Chain A
């Protein structure tokens, strides 16, 4: 009987319900707790698409949400966007702040703008696609297990400590610049900051550049050649990224990539006997 009741309820509300929420009625932004409670209530009613307008720094949007639905954000979401998220798709039209995809488990995130610091920290799965530049400590302590791994693709540049203590997953930095007239060129500055991949012990960082990265390498990281295997690894995701942001795939793939890998699985294993293994 109970099952029947649930089924009736689903039928009543429907699957393709789109709900729009104005997060700043009369210009006054609502509290993040109220906003998240609203989103939660809607998702429990099988709403498949939630469109948020006038977002202004509300934190924890999409926190710990599970299921297959989409959240579209217009504005600047606050810290910890999609924290512990497990499945949904979040699209942001605007810049975002720090800690996007904190400990994310599954799902996808598309940022049509720049990102802040510490994106994808401790992420365990899912994809984060960012069109513009990102800040410091992106992909810190990402991890992977068997077939489950997180992917971060950055269109612009990254700053210091990219992939710090990385324990799995893939980070790709493309070094592209999007001009106001719609054309796409390669950047003329450095693609990443210093301490690249410090303490990395699994996973890989792909950088689309021909600049010398030796000086920027952190402890425990090394540069390896970009071979067919690497192409196979990032190819499908890169293709999806290019489709998402309307970037010609040939332009992206036809340039030298460099790959950062760990020198060992346990870079600090020898800490107490003064050597690196």
Chain B
């Protein structure tokens, strides 16, 4: 099983990184621009300027009480609702962030990011994840930036990978369903997730065959190509369900005619809750694999992968 092998290797590498990273302040953490961000001391006040993933990470790591500001988004987790807002995602107000006197601005991107750095604030934005290992690495990097060391991240990574392995074992050997992930765009053909995206890996682990596996990363695919590959099932944003019915090309796809359209919020793919997403997709693609209770083997913790 090459997938299993790759999976175990990824986990192993993750644990090695985690182990090697155990260190106190100051720490240097690599960011999305290939630089090393120097964190001199403990971070007590955090502004979350990035997407939902970052709010989820600080929540999962038990450091949510350090968050003093969040960027506006329709999906802010319940516990951050009462916290001051610092503007739109990708365009936070530099003044409002400064007024909160944060030690760290997490996940800032877009035009205001350079302004935040110029204002002397410590900005940390990790490289976007290409796969599940990338999401786990993001969790670990955020924790190291805030706490100076890895504490909860390795355990969280183990828990998440265990959940994925359990789902994978249920769909193992089942015939793969040909799936496409489609996001309509204005003025151009729809966008899809190909190889080198967490969505692609999650689809494959959920027992799907991504019909656009050969397109690199997030790529626009022509309506002609969508018709030619005619997937058995498609996954769209909940707000695009209407599009699958009204667009003449999409509504004529085999998947739509057979009613095999699943709505998944885009933020749930690159998320700390990705096992839930895989489970939902897998149960939708292979309902028969989920009609029986969890196999006994999955309830016991897997063998330690620590080298």
Does chain A bind chain B? no
- The chain B residues found within 8 Å of chain A, CB to CB, are none
- The chain A residues found within 8 Å of chain B, CB to CB, are none
